[in-house]
Each structure stands twice: as structure tokens, then as C-alpha cells.
Amino acid sequence: MQLHEFIFSESRKCRLLRHISFWLAWFSFSSFVQLIPTVPENISWSVFTSNLIFKAIARMPLEIIFCYYIVYVLVPRYVLQRKFKLAIIGLLLSGFFLYLLTYLFITPIFNLIGMRLLGWKPLTPFIRYFFSFYSNINFTGPIPACCFMLSIKYFKNWYIKHRESQSLLHENAQAELQLLRAQVHPHFLFNTLNNIYSYTLTGHPDAASLVDKLSGMIDYMCTEGYKPLVPLEKEIQLLNDYIELEKVRYGSRLQMKVDICGNMENKLIAPLLMIPFVENCFKHGASKLRGSQWIEMLINIKDNQLDFTLMNSKPDEEIISDNKKGRLTKGQGIGLINVKKRLQLLYTFNHNLKLESTNTTYSVYLKVQLTEKEMIAEDVLLNEPQTVSYA
């Protein structure tokens, strides 16, 4: 039996072993902790030890009854139910009966053991009154035992609830990620299909190649988009294919600059993180401007950090972001909202997103901590079908 199972399992066997272990430990503590003082010279070690053990045995039933009443009756039924008046009454009554039972039964037993084993004189009435009170509050009495049991029980409950809350947060985060991904895909595909449709209406001979690029992008999203991490080169290839589709739509009106540098090998990133920004610069920038427009995309990979910079021209009257807080205020689509949420969930402390806007320019600066492929278990990368477009 493992230690974790012994402590936290709710099986009858484990619970019984836990309670037996607790009372054996408490019995050993209450029996031998008083051996620290010097044994009287006229009493042998064995007799003095027997005296302490017999006393611990005599007190044990009363300690067990008191502890279980407090821990399993008074606290859950009254204290946790916020019935404080009844809880106080129950506590006072239990304290009174604890004193009464100690005076009527435990003190006479101690008196008898002391006279038989140690040759002590009978206890006076005052000593009996005082001992009946003191024996219940000293560090080996029922009240300290009850406090110790409560501490163990509620620390264990706190740990269980903490684990449950962490598990719930993780499950909620995973569910939210699935929802965000489900929202990104249709939004992305809808705009891309519109672009291809408008291009195919002109009867351009390259329409077939554009459809092939789109099919590759759809294949990528279906096979790779639901994985936790994907190779960085495939994610960048998705950006390049999307840009190629958009460049055909805008033709010579669009000045597009793409600069990608750095080593992408064995680098992993969460899928579909950058594409909403690229999509947004076309949707809110190039598509709303007449005449020439420009877009610049700069990607730099250094060590395990990706620096993504995207700038585009935009209409004068449109205010898209807040420079100080990096918060979108107008014109933000569902793609940008989702990618910001995904960054918070996936790269909580490992990303930096900055959105800037002027009257004519909109800029995105994103830093993301990449993951080395060698540091990830193989099943994380292979948890989805392996048919991919970007080989």
C-alpha cells in the first residue's frame, strides 16, 4: 500500500488502518512522553513505566469517545452548518461530562494504580478535583488529542479540495481552449473561402493552385490544429500560404514584406496563434483602404524565443487599440479575442503581447517562449492523426 493511498483513500480498510495508526501513535506518545523526568529513586524503571502505560490505557476510552464526538458529530453537524449556539452548548456539555467521567472513573483508577504500584497515599478530595480538570487539558489529555485529530483531518480535507480545485481549473482551461479553437477555425475558413471565391470569379488560371493551398491549410487545421504543440516551421508555412492567397486578391495594390530569420528546427508552438493577427491586418486594413496598402511581417527566432512583428496600414478614422494597455477597443474580431485568451491560457507567464495603433498604422508585437521538441514526450506530439499537409 502506497503512502498516498493510505492517507487519502476512502476504502474501509484504509480508513480503519488510519484510525488504528493514529491511536497507537497517540497511545505511545501519552505513555512514554512522561518518562523524560527523572524516575524516583525508590521506584524501579519497569514499575514506573507500567504505571504510565496503565494510566494511558485507562484514559484511552474516554479520549476516543470525546474525540470522535467532537470531530464527527459536533463539528460537521453544528459548526460547519453554522449552528453556533448549538455547537457551543454541545461543547460545554461534552466538557462537563468529560470532567464528570474523569472524576468518577479515571481518577479512582489512577488512585488505585498509584497506591498499588508506586505506594502513593490516597488522593485527597482537592487533588481529585484538580486532577480531573488538569488531566483533560494537559498535553496528553483528550482535548489536545482532539485538537491534533482535527488538525490532521482538516489539513487533509484542505489538500483534497485544493487538488480538486486545481483539477477543475485545468479542466475548465482545456474546455475553454477547445471552444476557442472551434471558434477560430470557422472564422478563419470563412474569410479565406471568400477570398478564393472572389478570385476564382475572374477565371484566373492559378485558381487550382489556390484551392490546393486552401486544402492544405484545412488539412493542417484538422490534423494539427487540435494538438497542444506543433512544429514551428509548419505554423509559419500556414502563414505564408495564407499571405499568398491574400496577395492574389489584392494584386499590385498591396505591398507585402515578409522577413523570417532564425533556426526553426525542433521548435514547437501552440497551433494557430499568429494567423488571427495576419487575418486581422487584411480584414481591418487592406480590405478597407483604397489605393496602395502595405503590410510587413517580421519573424525572428533566437534560441527558444519567437519575436513576431506585424504592421499594416489602416483607415484614418479607425481606432483599433489602446497604446498603454494593449487592449482592443474597436474593430476587434472574434479571432483576436480568442487568440488573446489562448495566449493567457497556454503561455500565461511566457508571452508578451503589445498592440499599438496610430491614425494610419496598426502594429502587433508578440514574444512567445518556444518549446524544444526533445523536451516533450512523444505522445504529446502524436495524440492526433499524422496526415499533414506541410511535410
pLDDT value of residue 279? 82
Q: Which residues contact 314 (CB under 8 A, 6 or more apart)?
A: 284, 285, 288, 289, 320, 357, 360, 361, 362
- In the block, cell 486578391 appears at 249
Residue-level pLDDT at 354? 94
More confident residue, 190 or 291: 190
pLDDT of 89 reads: 93
CA distances from 183 to 159, 186, 187, 253, 269 (A): 36, 6, 6, 31, 19
Q: Are 222 and 229 in contact (CB under 8 A)?
A: no
Least reliable range by pLDDT among 122-126, 283-287, 346-350: 283-287
Q: Taking the mean position of all CA atoms in its chain, how far away is CA 242?
A: 36
Q: What percent of the chain has pLDDT over 90?
A: 23
Q: Contact, 333 vs 191, CB < 8 A?
A: no
Amino acid present at 371 = T
Mean pLDDT of all residues in 66-73: 92
CA nearest to 364, candidates 379, 377, 353? 353
Q: What percent of the chain has pLDDT over 70?
A: 77
Residue 329: pLDDT band with limits 50, 70, 90: very low
- CA 99 to chain CA centroid, nearest Å: 47
* DSSP code at position 2: -
Burial of 276 (0-12, 13-18, 19+ CB in 10 A): buried
Question: How does the average pLDDT of the chain come out, rounded?
Answer: 78
In this predicted structure, what is the pLDDT of residue 258?
93
pLDDT number for residue 391: 35
- The CA–CA distances, whole Å, from 325 to 3, 130, 322, 363 equal 49, 69, 6, 14
Distance CA 81, CA 234 (A): 57
**Residues 105-118 pLDDT 10s:** 888 877 777 776 66
Please give the pLDDT value at position 375: 67
Query: What are the sequence ranges of the domains in the chain?
Result: 3-140, 174-381
Answer whether residue 54 shows pLDDT above 60. Answer: yes
Lowest mean pLDDT among 87-91, 229-233, 383-387: 383-387
Greater pLDDT, 168 or 320: 168
Note the pLDDT tens digit of each residue in 126-185. Answer: 777 787 787 778 778 888 899 999 999 889 888 888 888 877 777 766 666 666 666 555
Give the model's pLDDT for residue 181. 61
Closest CA to 249 of 295, 305, 300, 192: 192
Residue 381 confidence (pLDDT) above 60: no
| Alpha-helical regions (H) of 224-261 | 232-250
Q: Which CATH superfamily is domain 174-381 in?
A: Histidine kinase-like ATPase, C-terminal domain (3.30.565.10)
Lowest mean pLDDT among 29-38, 44-53, 121-130, 176-185: 176-185
Confidence of residue 333 (pLDDT cuts 50, 70, 90): low
